[in-house]
Amino acid sequence: MSKITDKVVVITAASSGIGESTAKLLAEHGAKVVLGARRSNRIDAVVQEISANGRRERQSHRLRNRTAGPGGSR
């Protein structure tokens, strides 16, 4: 995975499951990960874990749960 070092990777649904595991693995291999999730408490915990393990986590963004109604509006 040497080609991932210093690449920026955006991962959605990063607060659990495959998204969380992927974020941790890529950060461990030197990627700069940007994490998105709806559950702010879980995403904050993932960011703290990545940071505590000395991985190269850089930034966390929270995505809002947006459901479009008829005509594309909420």
Summarised one tens digit per residue, pLDDT across range 13-57 is 999 999 999 999 998 888 888 898 888 889 889 988 888 876 544
Residues 2-13 have a mean pLDDT of 89
Q: How far apart are CA 66 and CA 53, in angstroms?
A: 32
The answer as to CATH 2.40.160.20 being correct for domain 2-64 is no
pLDDT at 63 over 50: no
pLDDT at 67 over 90: no
Backbone angles phi, psi at 34, to 5 degrees: -115, 120
- Domain chopping of the chain, boundaries: 2-64
- Consecutive H or E run containing 24: helix 17-28
Residue 68 or 39, more confident: 39
Strand pairing report for 59-60 and 8-11: unpaired
CA 62 to chain centre: 9
